[in-house]
Amino acid sequence: MTVQQAAGPDPYFPANGDARYRVHRYELALDYRPGPNRLSGTARINAIAGRAPLPEFQLNLGDFKIGRVRVDGRQPHYTHRGGRLRIRPAKPLRAGAAFTVEVHWSGNPKPVASPWGGLGWEELTDGALVASQPIGAPSWYPCNDRPADKASYQISITTPSAYAVVAGGRLLTRTTKASTTTWVYEQSAPTSSYLVGLSIGKYQTVLLGDPGLGGVPQHGHIPSDLLPEFSRDFARQPAMMELFQELFGPYPFDEYAVVVTEEELDVPVEAQGLSLFGANHVDGARGSERLVAHELAHQWFGNSVSIADWRHIWLNEGLAKYAEWLWSERSGGRTAHQHAAAAHRLLSTLPQDLRLADPGRKSMFDDRLYERGGVTIHAVRCALGDIAFFRMLRSWASVHRNGTVTTATFTSHASRFTSEPLDQLFEAWVHRTRLPPMPSAETGIAV
């Protein structure tokens, strides 16, 4: 495992996160009432100070009432405004010291405002969901909100018993008392704050495929009236799981769940061990199957292997886009080369002012980043040849499992799988804006 913590604030979101310490574990105990959209919670955060003494530090948290804050059991001085909970312990924390923060908060959770609309906690007609990428996690819990700071999680949520709670990770217990049920989930794998997924609703749970001996448990959580369409639209997800394990290596987590809400979502959203889809992504005709593949691929690329900061988002989206094309190639659709050629033709008609290695905050979710990212991965495949390319991908997912990476990490890694220099390829595709020529054809998957 490699962990490359970013040295300073995220250049795209400097107000989010605190690079002076890292979190080891979050333990969240939440109580949520859907009717009034009322959330109260306690967070116990185990953290480690960095290389310098820590006289104060910050967590990110939305507009909630703070009931209590403790650092190692002692009351600190703190302020909470503008989404920042600034904490000054009674005594400065020593460099490298382990410490524990306890925060009690309550209020009405609401999305975090962003250039892409509200992010994070979203109240639904009958329930709620969390879709936090990239800065929505503070909408519902206090966190060191930077992708490089990955921690394990235990989440306990109490809701009225009519509702099901789905979170990424393994369900440890479900306990009903009177009219409420408490669900406790454990996500032991290191997880970025924005990748902590959650959905509260009235769902029917189904098993997707037979995990068998050594297989990955896969479950769907769906409104009962959408079950017939879901059963067709997600029927091939187990086959995707098999293919991606063949191409990328073992699935990196214990389980995988998909949730379909009764409401529409602009795009599906990946979380660690969990993906969220809207009712509009279920049509009974496999109309969104490429998105099913895309979100599953993010479990390897983006979730297990995470970016050190948001400048490198093309690594998440380019590899997930290419996974869509690999699924098409293997399942009898267009080849990856045909998909890449179509994407290249589209990109040639659009402005060529986006640089993959640092697209800027305004363009980090631009469709061109996804398409050019996919074609860039195809260019690497063409340069390496199939055998070396898929060895490279499996090694990438294995060596950096549970870690954080940068564009430079990827270019260095890929270069180890060929005797030919790749500097010019990455300079043209990743560091410059002008679209290079379409890479030469490589068809078929030979692994």
Residue whose pair of structure tokens reads 């448990």 in the numeric block: 217
For residue range 150-163, list pLDDT tens digits in order.
999 999 999 999 99
Residue 433 pairs with which residues in a beta bridge?
Answer: none
Angle at 276 between CA 232 and CA 166, to 5 degrees: 105
Q: How confident is the model at residue 215 (pLDDT cuts 50, 70, 90)?
A: confident
For residue range 224-275, list pLDDT tens digits in order.
999 999 999 999 999 999 999 999 999 999 999 999 999 999 999 999 999 9
Q: Domains of the chain by range and CATH?
A: 1-196 (2.60.40.1730), 203-304 (3.30.2010.30), 308-431 (1.10.390.10)
What is the pLDDT at residue 9?
83
For residue range 159-187, list pLDDT tens digits in order.
999 999 999 999 999 999 999 999 999 99
Provide the percentage of residues in the chain whose pLDDT is more than 90: 94
Q: How confident is the model at residue 316 (pLDDT cuts 50, 70, 90)?
A: very high
Gap between the Cα atoms of 366 and 31, Å rounded: 37
- Provide the whole-model pTM: 0.95
Q: How many residues does the chain have?
A: 447
* All residues at 6 or more sequence positions from 242 whose CB lies less than 8 Å from its CB, including other chains: none
Q: How confident is the model at residue 209 (pLDDT cuts 50, 70, 90)?
A: confident
Whether the CB-CB separation of 431 and 355 falls below 8 Å is answered with yes
DSSP state of 399: H
